[in-house]
Amino acid sequence: MKGTTGTQASFLAIFNGDHDKVEELDRLVTQFAGFEYAYPITSQTYSRKVDADVISAMSSFGATCQRIGGDIRHLAATKEMEEPFEKDQIGSSAMAYKRNPMRSERMCSLGRHLANLCKDALDTYSQQWFERTLDDSAIRRIDIPHAFLTTDVLLRILDNVAGGLVVYPAVIARRIREELPFMATENFIMRMVALGASRQDAHEAIRVLSHQASAVVKQEGKDNDLIERVKKDKFFEPIRGEIDSLVDPKSFIGRAPEQTVKFVEKEVRLALEPWTGALSEKVSELNV
């Protein structure tokens, strides 16, 4: 109830200059409309910065969906993880064997659209002359519904994907066996240094062996044999008996399990607490 330019001049005239009655009218109309708060200062419209703030929050969620969808697609490409896949679902119209991550692809596509809507909202706010021109009208009629509808769809897709993820531990274990030897080279170097060897010498020795093992993998298509090369190399003889323990996968995960449990128990549970009873355990259904 701020009037055509936000000054409430017309209401002040109606109430013969009584400012208290103007403010009371504003309060009563706000209450009648079901709101606890009304903007104290406006122009012809409320500031479109509000639209920018709201849409920016949804755009941030869109970017999150892109990240999650992209990671799942990469893991699906290496066969470490898959999104849910119906019994009769067609993964590719051209190649029958494929199980394309269609949900995650859709999530990335819509997430990209949503992430970019914040630019429209920011431009609308910054280019509305004196917060009075109507060049905001048409674009808001497009962007605001699109932002909320796209967010709703993305929430449903994300819920569906997260509720039916399939993980393949055997494939993950194979990838670890292939890559872990290269990751463990720093452990070899540090252990040799602890026993008195020169770090530069240890680094050079492991560099040569790593390139040899890498060539076997890339040029001959064979398994990574770096560990065996290190065990046979005379330079690393002082730690030969420790090598297997130095490449134990468990030694590389740090506190990741404990961090995850604590995060879920503290942060996630606290965030969901206000919505207890409102959230359904039923996974959202999609047509793919």
Write out pLDDT tens, residues 184-204.
898 999 999 999 999 999 999
Top-tier CATH class for 49-167: mainly alpha
pLDDT tops 60 at residue 89: no
pLDDT tops 70 at residue 86: no
The ranges assigned to domains in the chain are: 1-42, 49-167, 170-252
- Our CA dihedral for 237, 242, 247, 250, rounded to 10 degrees, sits at -170
Q: What is the per-residue pLDDT for 207?
A: 94
CB 227 within 8 A of CB 247: yes
Give the residue among 184, 174, 175 at the shortest CA–CA distance from 245: 184
Cα 270 from Cα 274, distance rounded (Å): 8
Sequence length of the chain is 288
Domains 49-167 and 170-252 agree in fold: no
Is the entire prediction scored with pTM above 0.85?
no
> Residue 186, Cβ neighbours under 10 Å: how many?
12
How is residue 27 annotated by DSSP? H
Interhelix angle 102-126/137-162, nearest 10 degrees: 150
Q: Specify the higher pLDDT residue, 141 or 279.
A: 141
**Amino acid at residue number 268:** V
**CATH match of 170-252 with 1.10.40.30:** yes
Q: Chain-wide mean pLDDT for the chain?
A: 91
pLDDT band, residue 183 (cuts 50/70/90): confident
Q: Specify the higher pLDDT residue, 250 or 67.
A: 67
Give the mean pLDDT of 132-155: 93
Q: Specify the higher pLDDT residue, 176 or 55.
A: 55
